[in-house]
Amino acid sequence: MGSLAGCTGGCSPTDGGDTDGGDAATGWRQVGGGPRHTSRAAPEERPPSDPSATTLSLEPVTDSEQVHYSPASAPAVADGRTFVATGVGSEWDDDPPGGVYALDPGRSEPVWSVAVPSGVTGPPAAVGDAVVVGARDESLTAYDAETGEQRWRVALGGTPGSPVVAGDRVYVGTDAGRLAAVDPDRAERCASRSLVSATARLTKGGRPIPAAPAVDGETAYLLVDGRAENAHDERTAELVALDLASGAEQWRYTASTTDPLAAPSVGDGTVYVSLGGAVHALDASDGTREWRFATGFDRPSRPAVDDGTVYVSAKNVYALDAATGAERWRYVNTQVGRHTDRVPRQDAPVVAGDRVYAGLGALDAETGERVWGELGNRSDSRYFRDLNVGENVAPAGPAVAGETMVATLRSGQVVWFE
């Protein structure tokens, strides 16, 4: 395929931005806080040490046999409003119907909601005054952030993952092994670039939905899933670095894994990615591995990066030296799951100043000591005590914006700590 910059209407690639995270005016507009997924919020944007909790329950999804409390996606926060999606799929239902919701903690009902019958494929992202979300009908759709009216819809020719906003483009990977760039002002797909050879592509529905790409300046980093007989078999996953100006592949890193794909993070010239129960640190210029840290648990989260430290959840929360991978501290989660294929904590942490937010609470970023909230260790937990909804109670990871932490639960609840 041609360059991602060679778009109709005079499109051109733009820089992915200098910072991740937002401020009071912009909020936490996409997964990972920004296009590089460092999950870093402004130091002043954090809840007090003893926050109050406000909970809103989304409507359950009902089929012919039973009621499913569809987990809400990771939240996006823009101009004080929280946006989540349902229908991503779960242990209960691989292909549930879903919807997009605009929420306000001061209201007992959604500000607006839009049904997505085919189900969504990942968290929404805010771009300008709209919210974009991918769906299993192979589309990317934008809704007016104020009213929920559909702004535009683009057919991608493959099931998209989570959209990422960088500069004036929306980037999204598809299960056909392609990266697409969308100009939201012209409501059209500018270009797409193949990330796998034609012989390696699987039939429709055979390739898992990709994680969100990380975009840093002129380069996008996207995980491409390899062939496996079923979802639990070991397979290869490839992290591809793609030049957005020329469409050329810069490098490709391959690792074995049984984990679902988590989005990579990019910070200070290094790409961090969780694969095969470990965190891998790669030189962003050529893909050479700098270090690898094995957590000892499956499905480690997307890493957060801040001030020379990498934070990751894999049952416990780990703080690692960003240069060497050496463990600085770990917060041990004693709440163990009843099922061997689940752990109670895999949520992507968020860093804001001297706090690390994970699960439904906060840790001291320097020492790993608990500051407030629940991270799996309390027998009287309001959230972790009910394991019927699955031990990984808040799997999506929180958002931190405007002195508020927002978390979504497996039970279809959204909780604001403020």
DSSP string, 254-277: EEEE-SPP---EEETTEEEEEETT
Give the pLDDT score at 258. 75
Higher pLDDT, 189 or 302: 302
Give the pLDDT score at 47. 84
Give the pLDDT score at 326. 98
Give the pLDDT score at 117. 85
Paired tokens of 237 = 């996953």
What is the share, in percent, of the chain residues with pLDDT greater than 70? Answer: 76
Sign of CA dihedral 388, 390, 391, 395: negative
Give the pLDDT score at 219. 96
Tell me the mean pLDDT in the region 273-296.
95
Give the pLDDT score at 1. 42
> Do 90 and 66 contact (CB within 8 A), yes or no?
no
Q: Is the pLDDT of residue 331 over 60?
A: yes
In this structure, what DSSP letter does residue 303 have?
A: -
Confidence of residue 89 (pLDDT cuts 50, 70, 90): low
**How far apart, in whole angstroms, are the C-alpha atoms of residue 155 and residue 189?**
8
Give the pLDDT score at 101. 95
How does 118-157 read in b/e, with b if 16+ C-beta sit within 10 Å?
bbbbbbbbbbeebbbbbbbbbbbbbbebeebeebbebebe
Higher pLDDT, 87 or 164: 164
**Residue of 86, 20, 75 whose CA lies nearest to 407:** 75
Chain segment 68-84, per-residue pLDDT in tens: 556 789 999 999 899 99
Confidence of residue 292 (pLDDT cuts 50, 70, 90): very high
> Do 306 and 38 contact (CB within 8 A), yes or no?
yes
Q: What value does the mean pLDDT of the chain take?
A: 81
Paired tokens of 401 = 């914006």
Q: Which of 86-100, 137-151, 174-188, 347-361 has the lowest average pLDDT?
A: 86-100
**Residue of 416, 412, 413 whose CA lies nearest to 402:** 416
Tell me the mean pLDDT in the region 266-279.
94
Give the pLDDT score at 128. 93
Q: Is the pLDDT of residue 60 over 90?
A: no
Q: Is the pLDDT of residue 39 over 70?
A: yes
Give the pLDDT score at 13. 41
10 Å CB burial of residue 167 (0-12, 13-18, 19+) is: middle
Higher pLDDT, 348 or 176: 348
Tell me the mean pLDDT in the region 207-234.
75
In order of start, what are the domains of the chain with their CATH numbers?
31-417 (2.130.10.10)
Higher pLDDT, 393 or 388: 393
CA–CA distances in Å: residue 115 to residues 59, 77, 150, 187: 11, 20, 11, 21
Chain segment 198-215, per-residue pLDDT in tens: 333 333 344 567 789 999
- Using DSSP's 3-state secondary structure scheme, residue 139 falls into strand
Q: Is the pLDDT of residue 4 over 70?
A: no
Tell me the mean pLDDT in the region 28-57.
90
Give the pLDDT score at 208. 63
Give the pLDDT score at 236. 78
**How far apart, in whole angstroms, are the C-alpha atoms of residue 226 and residue 55?**
39
Q: Is the pLDDT of residue 16 over 60?
A: no
Higher pLDDT, 197 or 258: 258
Give the pLDDT score at 341. 46
Tell me the mean pLDDT in the region 129-158.
93
Confidence of residue 20 (pLDDT cuts 50, 70, 90): low
Confidence of residue 232 (pLDDT cuts 50, 70, 90): low
Q: Is the pLDDT of residue 174 over 60?
A: yes
In this structure, what DSSP letter does residue 367 have?
A: T
Give CA torsion, residues 334, 338, 341, 347, to 10 deg.
Answer: -40
Q: Is the pLDDT of residue 5 over 50?
A: no
Q: Is the pLDDT of residue 121 over 50?
A: yes
Higher pLDDT, 389 or 184: 184
Higher pLDDT, 335 or 74: 74
Chain segment 159-168, per-residue pLDDT in tens: 898 999 999 8
Confidence of residue 2 (pLDDT cuts 50, 70, 90): very low
Q: pTM of the entire structure? A: 0.89
